[in-house]
Every structure is written in structure tokens, then in C-alpha cells.
Chain A
Amino acid sequence: MSEKKYTKKDFTADKLVKWCPGCGDYAILAAVQKTMADLGRPKEQQVVISGIGCSSRFPIYMDTHGFHTIHGRAPSVATGVKVANPDLDIWLVTGDGDGLSIGGNHLLHAIRRNVNMVVLLFNNKVYGLTKGQYSPTSEVDTVTKSTPYGSIDEPINPLSFALSAGATFVARTYDTNPKHMQHVFSEARNHRGLSFIEIYQNCVIFNDGAHDNVLERTIRSERLVELMNGEKLIFGKEKDKCLVFEGLELAVKNVADVNEADIVTHETAQASPTYAKILADLQGADVPSPIGIFRQVERPVYNDAVIQQTEDVKEKYGMGDLQNLLNGNASWEVKSDAHPIEEEFTTFTP
């Protein structure tokens, strides 16, 4: 494919962006536009598909082909697009409510089918568009208008969900780090299969600072561990902390206190998803949040298999012949001079 020279502007629609000032979505939009420009794939082949939510307004602001569909169902629409025309690049934008609440089932099945597309899940741990109810990723005890005494349902972990469904590319990034977002987005695009990316996104209006426990500038280096394939899980401002296995769990140690060999080396291509799941489960005050690509493996891609099966059948039976189809294999011929029976109906003309 010929790679064209694009700039971010080529992917920017001439429309007023209507997110709240300070919303994390702006930075994600810019990062996607920049990534597309850098990838240089034909602009007309880029298709952005979304559900409903603040985040799902995304395609409106992109100068690409786009489809802003209905709440939670974008994965099914995207699957249909890929089945009809596998050459298109699909970017699916969804929120924590859109993708994990109303659309959880569709997302699950798109992932298990491994439809070739990039899924961007904007996790602001709240329903933004409907003005601030708690979401399936909100922690227990979250107080919102719909949970004045605190939420009581256990949240879901988007990455554990994706890994359990069999995702072949799983990553996490965050809205205040354009470089990191662009890197992850472009790796995701270049992966064959469904790439699932959770983006920590800030909703300034209804859940400001929801990710501050890991992203706040002053503590970030102590609270995030950046995953880099083939490299040790070491973090901290002074690069003095690391992760080692204790049984089936990852524990935080001082680099000085352990054998270098015991520090876990990050490997994205492990056959089993168990390691990636353990990483995804790293949550809480005592452990850092991993950022970057958790897992990347090869598995048959649904839309490839659709085409392959079609080709195989055509190879086996030849291109279909409609007359044969209609005749079927239990028809018989009649030869006679009889005329078709006269219709007992006549046409009505007023």
C-alpha cells in the first residue's frame, strides 16, 4: 500500500468539538489523529465506529469515514463492516458504560472472534453523557447521583475481561501522555486481530481525578510500571523498585534486595494469558499500575477466516450458478403445449 504524507490536520474534521473544556477526550482525539497521520495509511480506508456516550462522539470530530451508532452495539456494526469489506481499518471507540455495561456481550464476542480492529475503551469510571451515574468500572462506595449512599456492586477490570475473552492484543495507556498513547495506538493498528486498549481518561465534570491515585504528577513514577517487551519490571523515580513473583502473585521489592534474575522480565508473546492476567490484576494502594502492552499473540482472525472459507467453497464448487440454485436437486422437467392457467385475478384501475 502506498504510504501518503499526512498531517494531523488531515484527520481533523472542520467541526466544533463539544466536549467539556479540560476533558481527557481532547488529548485522545489528538493522539489518534497524530497516529493516523504518522501511519500514513489511506485516509479513506480509516473508519471510526462508536456507540453512545461522550467518548462515542469521537467519529464526529474525525475527518474519516465514521458511524456513530447506538449504545453498546458498535462491536456488532464493526464486525459487519469487516465481514463486508476486510480492507478497511476499523477504530472502535467505546466507553466504560458503552463497552462494559450495555455492550459487554458484543465486546466479548468481538474479542473472542478476534475481528481485526482497534478498540479504544475510554475509562473514566463514570457515565459522562448521562451526567454522572456510577459505571461498571466505578469502585465500590462511589457516591454519584444514582448512588447517594455509595455504589455496592463490584467493578469489572476491563483488561481482565478482555484477556479472559481471548484478546490477542491488550494494552493500557492514559490521556495525559500523548507519546505513550501514540506508541500504543500505532502498535495496536499494526497488530493483526482485535487490539484492546484501555485508556485512563479523566472526566473533569463528573469524576475529576478518578485516576489520580496512579496518575497524579508527583506520585506517577512510583505508581506506574511501564511494560516494555523483553525488559525487567522496574519502576520508581530512582528505578529502585521492581516486581518479582511470590507464588502466583507479583510483589513489589527493592531492586537492591533481590537477585536480578528474580525480577520479572516482561514478555508479551507468552502462549498462556495467565501472566498478562496477573499483571491486569495489579490494582490497589500497594502495587503499581502497569502501562503499555500486556499481551500480543497471533490467533486466527475472524474476517480472514470468513474470506478463506468463501474462497475454499468457491474453489470446491466453482462460482455459484443461480439457475442451478433455483432448480435444486429434486426438480423435474415437464414438456407440454399447455398454457399457464389463467389468473383468476384482474388488475384494478380506478
Chain B
Amino acid sequence: MSDNKTNILEIESAVVRFVGDSGDGMQLTGNQFTDTSAVSGNDVVTFPDFPAEIRAPAGTVGGVSGFQVNFSSNPVTSHGDAPDALVAMNPAALIMNVKDLKHGGLLVVNSDSFGAIDLRKAGIESNPLENDTVLHETYQVVEVGMTSLVQKALEEIDLKASDKKRCKNFFALGLMYWVYDRSLEFSKNWIKKKFAKKPILIEANTIALEAGYAYGETIELFNNRYTIKSNDMPSGTYRQVTGNSALAYGLTTATFSSGLKLVYGSYPITPASDILHELAKLKHYDVRTVQAEDEIASIGVALGASYAGSLGVTATSGPGLCLKTEFVGLAAMVELPLVIVNVQRGGPSTGLPTKTEQSDLMLAMYGHNGEISVPVIAPKSPVDCFYTAREAVRIAVEYMTPVIVLSDGFVANSSDLWRVPDIKTLDKVDVEFYEGDAEGYEVFARDEKGARKWVVPGTPDLQHTLTGLEHNTLGDISYDGENHQKMTLERAEKIKNIAKSLPSLEVMGPDSGDVLVIGWGGTYGSICAAIKELRKTHKTLSYTHLTHLNPLHNDLEALMSRFKKVVVVEINLGQLHKILRSEFAIDAELICKIEGKPFLVSELVNSISEYL
């Protein structure tokens, strides 16, 4: 055992943030730390944060990339507010992030990258490590010459100096494993797999990892080490999953097990592209992907595929949704199933491509010409993207309608620990292509839900032409006013009917009381944590999270009426807030912010308290 006398304190949870240049491998480091924590039985939620530029000039503030993980011996829903520990690989990363670190928190810096040039690149004149006394008084600063230590450790390895330097993230990882008393096993195995084709890199990265760990052990620089007990997790298969991957899996399982082909049309855009990357690999799951010439064509491809009897899906982010709106209207008008995913990012226009926001709700709900209602649903967490995607497929096929899924940059890129479901327990979507009698067949005849039959080209005797012009029940073009009114109402009624198929609303806290907080989409994790905190002292506070934005739940009005106050929380200037006020004529309150970042739990605790 070690002779190192550093105390190991047992704590319940910790938040660690790794920050560095976008070329420093911080995402990888953070992911490794997360996986190791999850494997050792902690619940985890992560929050990656990267710059819009792929490789902004190295060392500048524009190029800072970060990864935060909250890990705990109890269930966690948010990525955590202020980090307990910050690992900063250069001055730019330090100055951008240190203000978030908890007072008294651990600040580990790579002191080798604080030379005059590094400081100039970061836009600062004096070296904070040398001259900033406040920094040293506020935090527990540990300066480690990571670059030189790694080079030393790799002396014997036959690699270029620049390649050796690149192993420093594994050094940092090893060091943090020591601080948090984690095993190196998971990462060692990962390195083996990852660099299987380059044994020299297996050796170098493993040595760097071990050197970092050993450095913590030998140099008594740290006040404390920490250990976090395992959760009592139920049996099962566990993994980490990001929202975008979960969404791709949700779409694939829903279609594949229902015997539907999935045709995915897409045009690359941050932060939705990873869905395309994921699905493009899945050709053996009857997934066909088309990288179209633009967002309009990509939804056109998807709609064409749905017309021909596959499930068409397209995904994009805000500006792309603007381009798709005419086709969404056509899909709603000809009543074909279609799933449109919008991974929201900061808007308007090109906005904040890598930052999160919930400001496309109005666009999704009302961004159509004419009176048409399009179902809108939103995932609340990375794992929930899986179930939301499946729900979108269900609604699209059962109701013969386009469905908009409003994910967001935060949910898409961050990850949760996922107890993987047994595929056999997942419901299948009922897919039926009508091939029956031509006698009496009417293109827009409806079933009890209001849905028309899906008749695909290739079906004998049921030839018909779909059109975006107004048509009658037979599918024939009709400019008749009465018919237009009838068809418009029928289409609206069909979407309203979806509400009857929704599971009950879920409430945290009593089902009547003083304050009901309402959230939707990716704010779930932070709101949950804040409500749990506040409910310790405020028993009449409740919270419900809306998964379906259109149609809204039939019981929502009744639930809201049982509270003295309704407070809506969202990352925009109050879009759901406006909708609830206009739909139900209620006097709802609003908590909102629009900084491109998820809510901090403490922010919500403070702002919700004002209504208590």
C-alpha cells in the first residue's frame, strides 16, 4: 500500500470539470473519467461544452473546450453547478472557468503551459499562478508540470516529442483518478482497444496514465483524497449514452422491430450531425441515410420515403427547421408519417451553434402557413431521447402525421448512465399498409382516431394522387369553402385525439398546493434537483415536466387549477409560458434565462424561492 499520508474522505458526490484547448483531448478525458465512475457504481450526468470553431488558434479563449461530470453515490439528474475540482490545461482555460469553481475547490493546472507566449495567447499579461494572490487564497491550487513530467515518463518510448506531449491528458486523468480513488483498469482497457492498431500509443498513453496516478501518490501536494461509495444499482447492463446516440437508437429500434425501413434524410448542422453519423453506420438495421443537398431536400427525401412505405425521418437544428417548414405543411396536408428532429441551439439566425436553448418552441408549434397542427414532443434527458424518439414514431404512424421532436444542444451532447432495456420489453409500433378493396376506398377516410389509411405506391387498384392543394375525402382537389372548413377541422381534431393516448401526468410533490413548477425538454435535470432541494422545507411545492407540447395533456388544466401559482421554467424568453397563458387564460409566472447554458440548480433554487 502507499506511504502517502493524504486523508481519504468519503463523500456523497463530486463535480469535476476538465478544461483545455480543443486540441487537448478534454472530451475524451472527461468521458473516461465518467465511464470509470459509472463502472465503479456511481450515477453520472455529464455536460460537454465546446467552442463553435473546430480549432480556434491554440491557447486562445475561443478554443477552450470543457467537460463536466457530476458523479454520486445517489441518483443525480443534473450535471452539477459549481465544480469541486477544476483541471485546467492552459491559461485561457483557467481564466474562462475558474470563476465557476467552488470556493476552496481544487484547482489543478498544467503549469508548463503558463509561459509568456501562452499568457499572450490567452490575452493576459501577468501569470495568475505567480501573481494572483486572490487565486491562491480562494482555491486549493496545485501546479503540476504535466508536459515535462509526461515527456520524462516517456523518455524511453520511440515517439516524436510532439506526440509525447499529446499524452498529457492521460497524465491529468491518472492524477484525478488518484485524487478520487478510482481504478485505472477501465481506461487501460479502453486504451488497449482504442489504439489496437498502434501498440506504441497503447504503451505511451498507459505510461502517461500511470505516471499521473503515481505523481499524486508520491508528491504530497494535495490536502485530501476522496472516495465516493457505489450506488446500490439494480441488476442489469449499464452504459453511458449521449442524447444524440439515444435518439438514433430510439428511431432504429422503433422501426426495425416494427418491420419498417428507416430512411433518414439530413444535412449536416451542429448539434444534430451526430444523429446522422450514428445512423449512417446502421445499414444492417434497415436504416438508409441520405446526406441531401440541403435541409429542404433532406425532408423531401424523408417524405418521399414515407410516401413509399418506409418511415422518413429528418433531423436538423433551428436554421434548418426554418427551411423545412413548407414540407412539414405538405406532410401534414397529405397526412403521411414523418419525424422531424430539431436539436435546438442558440438562435436566431446562425446564433450560438454549440450552445443550448429552447427558443424554437413557437416555430415548431406555429411555424406553418395555414391552419395546421403538428404534434411536438421533447426529451427531458439524454436517456429520454431514446424513449421520445420511439414515441415520435408511434404518433407519426398511428396518426399519419408529421411529428416534431424538440431536443436541444445540452441533451444531445451530454450523457447519462443508462440501464439498457431488454429489447423484448419494448412495445412495437402497429404498422398497417392498406391493400384491401378498391371498392369504397377513399383516400382521406378516417379511423376512430382520425387517421387515414397508409396506401403505398405499388399497391394494385388503389392508385391515387396526393396533393398539397386542398382536397376532399376522396383525395380530389377541392376549392369548396365548406369542404375546406370540414377538412381543416378534421385534421385539427386528429391531432387533438393524440392527447387521449398519453400516459398520465407525473407530479413531484402533492397534486395540489401553493406552487406548481412546469418545465419541458432539457431543463428537467436542473429543475428536478432544485425542487428536491426546496421540497425539504416547502412541502406544498410541486413540479410537473411536460413531454408533450402539442397536444398538451388533457389533465394539465385540472392540475394547474389546484395550485395557487404556476411557474414556468425555460431557456428562452417565455415561449411555453405564452402558450399556457393563451391556451388556459391563467396567470402563470416565468423563470427564464438565455445564456446558451443550462440552468444551475442554485439559480433555480433562488428564483423558485421567490414564489414560495
The reply to whether A85 and B327 contact each other, CB–CB distance below 8 Å, is no
Q: Are B305 and A81 in contact (CB under 8 A)?
A: yes
Q: Which residues of B contact A309 (CB under 8 A)?
A: 283
Closest to B300 in A: A76
Contact status of A60 and B465, CB under 8 A, knowing A80-B263, A346-B507, A348-B506? yes
Residues A106 and B297 in contact, CB atoms below 8 Å apart: yes
Assess whether B290 is in contact with A79, with CB atoms less than 8 Å apart: yes
B566 CB to nearest A CB, Å: 14
Instruction: Give bound CA distance, A260 to B85, whole Å.
Output: 89
**Given contact pairs A341-B75, A348-B544, A325 touches B292 in the complex (Cβ within 8 A):** no
Tell me which of A44, A82, A313, A346 contacts B461 (CB under 8 A).
A44
Cα A81 to Cα B336 in complex, Å, equals 13
Tell whether A73 pairs with B327 under 8 Å between CB atoms, given A109-B293, A314-B283. yes
A337 to B458: give the CA distance in the assembly, Å: 54
Question: Which residues of chain B come closer than 8 Å to A47, judged between CB atoms?
Answer: 457
Q: Which of B10-18, B232-240, B359-367, B491-499 contacts A (4 or more CB under 8 A)?
A: B232-240
0 or 1 for each of A329-340: is its CB under 8 Å from B? (1 = yes): 011111111111
Name the distance in Å between B337's Cβ and chain A's nearest Cβ: 12
Q: Determine if B157 is an interface residue (Cβ-Cβ < 8 Å).
A: no
User: Which of A62-70, A132-140, A178-186, A226-234 is the interface stretch?
Assistant: A62-70
Q: Considering the complex, which residues of chain B in the window 233-265 have a beta carbon less than 8 Å from any beta carbon of chain A?
A: 233-241, 249, 252-253, 256-257, 261, 263, 265
Q: Is the beta-carbon distance between B284 and A319 smaller than 8 angstroms? A: yes
Q: Which of B260-312 contact A (CB under 8 A)?
A: 261, 263, 265, 282-286, 288, 290, 292-294, 296-310, 312
**Which of B257, B283, B327 gathers the greatest number of chain A CB atoms within 10 Å?**
B283
**Which of A44, A76, A328 is in CB contact (< 8 Å) with B458?**
A44
Q: How far is A84 from B454 in the complex, measured between Cα atoms in Å?
A: 15
Number of chain A interface residues as a range: 35 or more
Is B559 close to A, CB under 8 A? Answer: yes
Structural contact, A77 and B303, CB atoms closer than 8 A:
yes
Residues of B within 8 Å of A15, CB to CB, are 476
**With a CB–CB cut-off of 8 A, which chain A residues contact B436?**
none
B458 CB, min distance to chain A CBs, angstroms: 6
A314 touches B458 (CB 8 A): no
- Chain A residues 269 to 322 lying within 8 A of chain B, measured CB to CB, are 306, 309-310, 313-314, 317-320, 322
Q: Does B589 contact A (CB under 8 A)?
A: no
Q: Let me know if B214 is at the binding interface, CB within 8 A.
A: no
Partner of B238, one of A65, A322, A334: A334
0/1 string, B517-551, CB within 8 A of A gives 1: 00000000000100010000000000010000000
Tell whether, in the assembled complex, residue A69 and residue B468 are in contact, meaning their CB atoms are under 8 Å apart. Answer: yes
Residue of B35, B256, B305, B462 near A330 (CB, 8 A) is: B35
User: Would A347 and B506 count as touching, CB distance under 8 A?
Assistant: yes
A83 contacts the other chain (CB 8 A): yes
Contact of B305 among A83, A320, A341, A344 (CB under 8 A): A83
Query: How distant is the Cα of A109 from the Cα of B299 in the complex, in angstroms?
Result: 15
- In the complex, whether A326 has a CB less than 8 A from a CB of chain B is yes
B134 at the interface (CB under 8 A from A): no
Q: Digit string of B127-159 for contact with A (CB within 8 Å is 1, else 0)?
A: 000000000000000000000000000000000
With A84-B310, A320-B284 given, is the CB distance from A66 to B305 under 8 Å?
Answer: no
Is A59 engaged at the interface, CB distance under 8 Å to the other chain? yes
Please tell me if the beta carbons of A345 and B508 are within 8 angstroms of each other in the complex. yes
Asked if B265 contacts A80 (CB within 8 A), the reply is: yes
Is A323 an interface residue, CB under 8 A from the partner? yes
When C-beta atoms are compared, the residue in chain B nearest to A336 turns out to be: B235
Q: Is the CB of B284 within 8 A of A60?
A: no
Contact pattern, A 45-89, Cβ under 8 Å of B = 1, otherwise 0 = 101110000000001101111111110010111111111110110
> Of A81, A109, A317, A347, which is within 8 A of B307 by CB?
A81
Q: Does B117 contact A (CB under 8 A)?
A: no
A220 close to B (CB within 8 Å): no
- B489 interfacial contact with A, CB 8 Å: no
Within the assembled complex, what's the spacing in Å between the Cα atoms of A78 and B459?
A: 17
Chain A residues closer than 8 Å to B261, beta-carbon distance:
84
Known A109-B297, A338-B233; contact A330-B257, beta-carbon cutoff 8 A: no
What residue in chain A is nearest B285 (Cβ atoms)? Answer: A320
**Taking the complex as formed, is B437 at the interface, i.e. its CB lies under 8 A from any CB of chain A?**
no
B235 CB contact (under 8 Å) in A76, A80, A335: A335
Asked if B305 and A334 sit within 8 Å, CB to CB, the answer is no
The distance from the CB of B470 to the nearest CB of chain A, in whole angstroms, is 12
Q: How far is the CB of A311 from chain B (nearest CB, A)?
A: 9
Inter-subunit contact A76/B477 (CB<8 Å): no
Question: Is A77 touching B464 in the complex (CB atoms < 8 A)?
Answer: no
Residues of B within 8 A of A338 (CB): 232-235
**Does A350 make an interface contact (CB < 8 A)?**
yes
Q: By the criterion CB–CB under 8 Å, are A310 and B293 in contact?
A: no
CA distance A81 to B285 in the complex (A): 19
Checking B296, B422, B423, B463 against A65 with a beta-carbon cut-off of 8 angstroms, the contacting residue is B463
Known: A313-B284, A336-B234. Contact between A349 and B504, CB under 8 A? yes
User: Are the C-beta atoms of B555 and A87 separated by less than 8 Å?
Assistant: no
The one of A65, A77, A325, A343 that contacts B304, using a Cβ cutoff of 8 Å:
A77
B372 interface hit (Cβ, 8 Å): no
Residues of A within 8 A of B75 (CB): 341
Question: Is the Cβ of A78 less than 8 Å from the Cβ of B304?
Answer: yes
Enumerate B462-479 residues with CB–CB distance to A below 8 Å.
462-469, 476-477
A331 touches B238 (CB 8 A): yes
Q: Shortest CB–CB separation between residue A202 and chain B, in angstroms?
A: 24
**Given A59-B465, A60-B477, A70-B327, do A348 and B457 touch, yes or no (CB 8 Å)?**
no
Point out the residues of chain A lying under 8 angstroms from B300, CB to CB.
69, 73, 75-77, 79-80, 106
List chain A residues, Cβ under 8 A from B293. Answer: 76, 105-106, 108-109
Instruction: Point out which of B298, B468, B544 has the most chain A C-beta atoms below 10 A from its C-beta.
Output: B468
Task: Report chain B residues within 8 Å CB of A350.
Answer: 555, 558-559
Closest CB-CB distance, A338 to chain B, in whole Å? Answer: 4
- In the docked arrangement, what's the CA distance between A13 and B474, Å? 13
Give the docked Cα–Cα distance between A340 and B257 (Å).
26
Q: Assess whether B326 is interfacial by the CB under 8 Å rule.
A: yes
A43 partner residues in chain B, CB cutoff 8 A: 460, 463
B302 closest partner in A (C-beta): A80
Once the chains are docked, how many angstroms separate the CA of A87 from the CA of B309?
12
**Separation of A79 and B283 alpha carbons in the complex (Å):** 18
Q: Does A218 contact B (CB under 8 A)?
A: no
| A327 at interface by CB-CB < 8 Å | yes
Q: Report the nearest A residue to B469, measured CB to CB.
A: A68
Chain B nearest CB, measured from A298 CB (Å)? 23
Asked if B370 lies at the interface with its beta carbon under 8 angstroms from chain A, I say no
A326 and B296 in contact, given A84-B261, A309-B283, A348-B506 (Cβ under 8 angstroms): no
Q: 18 new A-B pairs (CB below 8 Å) besides A67-B467, A76-B292, A80-B303? A: A13-B465, A65-B464, A65-B465, A73-B326, A76-B265, A76-B301, A77-B304, A80-B306, A80-B307, A81-B304, A82-B304, A83-B288, A105-B293, A109-B292, A320-B256, A323-B423, A330-B190, A347-B507
Residues of B within 8 A of A (CB): 35, 39, 41, 75, 190, 232-241, 249, 252-253, 256-257, 261, 263, 265, 282-286, 288, 290, 292-294, 296-310, 312, 326-327, 330, 334, 420-423, 456-469, 476-477, 503-508, 511, 528, 532, 544, 555, 558-559
A-B contacts, 24 of them at CB < 8 A, read A44-B461, A44-B463, A59-B465, A60-B467, A63-B463, A65-B458, A69-B468, A73-B327, A77-B303, A77-B304, A80-B303, A82-B304, A83-B263, A83-B304, A84-B304, A106-B293, A317-B284, A322-B285, A323-B422, A336-B233, A338-B235, A344-B508, A349-B555, A350-B555
Per CB-CB distance, the 9 closest pairs between chain A and chain B, nearest first, are A80-B304, A76-B300, A66-B465, A320-B285, A65-B457, A80-B301, A77-B304, A76-B297, A84-B308
